[in-house]
Amino acid sequence: MSRKERVRQTLRHIQTDIVPYSIELTIPAHEKMARYYNDPGFLEKTGRHTVYALRKNPEEKKFPVKKGFYRDEFGVIWDRRVDRDIGIVAHYPVDESNVQTYPFPDPRDDRYYEHLPEFFKKHNDYFIEGAIGFSFFERAWTLAGMEKILVSFADNPGFVETLFDRLTEWLILAARKFGQYEENRFHTLR
């Protein structure tokens, strides 16, 4: 039974020979394990059953930020000097003055998905999940700030509603783009 089939059977509540599992590691944990096994590709040998197919930001290297900082596809600047996986938001670009006009990336842009055919070939036996990451509430607070979002629920609901409406439209387009790939390539979308 392939890894993909094992996950599908489990999702149907049909017992399998082993329980399928997924292993995802932070950058520091991955580095430690790679050193321990003296193998940077050790993760592919763990027998894990799932992998995440991510959108890749084609603009990532186009707009350099100072050392230790990263600008994501929405223009949010992250300080990754301590937490190299995600980081801490260094600047929240959205507020009341631009919530209706702040530019979002085009989720239909083919450049975000160019790497997927090769990814599918490499992970043909895996249960593949399409991953947008920081998709709704997470994306809202990274754009405007956690405190601003939470306080605005009470004192400025129009701001939150506008931002959530725009993010919903963006996510629908992104999900549709993922859905254009061959059947059975993306088994779930998170």
User: Per mean pLDDT, which of 13-27, 53-67, 118-132 is the most reliable?
Assistant: 13-27
Three-state DSSP class for residue 136: coil
Q: 166 in a domain, yes or no?
A: yes
Mark 72-91 as b/e (b = at least 16 C-beta within 10 Å). bbbbbbbbbeeeeeebebbe
Q: 95 in a domain, yes or no?
A: yes
pLDDT tens, residue by residue, 48-91: 999 988 888 877 766 668 898 988 889 999 998 988 888 899 99
Q: How confident is the model at residue 12 (pLDDT cuts 50, 70, 90)?
A: very high
Task: Name the DSSP letter for residue 104.
Answer: P
Q: 140 in a domain, yes or no?
A: yes
pLDDT on residue 182: 62
20 within 8 A of 127, measured Cβ to Cβ: yes
pLDDT on residue 181: 73
For the chain, the domain total comes to 1
Q: Which residues constitute the domain of residue 128? A: 49-189
Q: 29 in a domain, yes or no?
A: no
The alpha carbon dihedral of 33, 38, 43, 48 has a sign of: negative
Q: Tell me how far apart the alpha carbons of residues 144 and 123 are, in angstroms, rounded to a whole number.
A: 36
Average pLDDT, whole number, for the chain? 89
Q: 122 in a domain, yes or no?
A: yes
Q: Tell me how far apart the alpha carbons of residues 170 and 132 are, in angstroms, rounded to a whole number.
A: 11
More confident residue, 80 or 134: 80
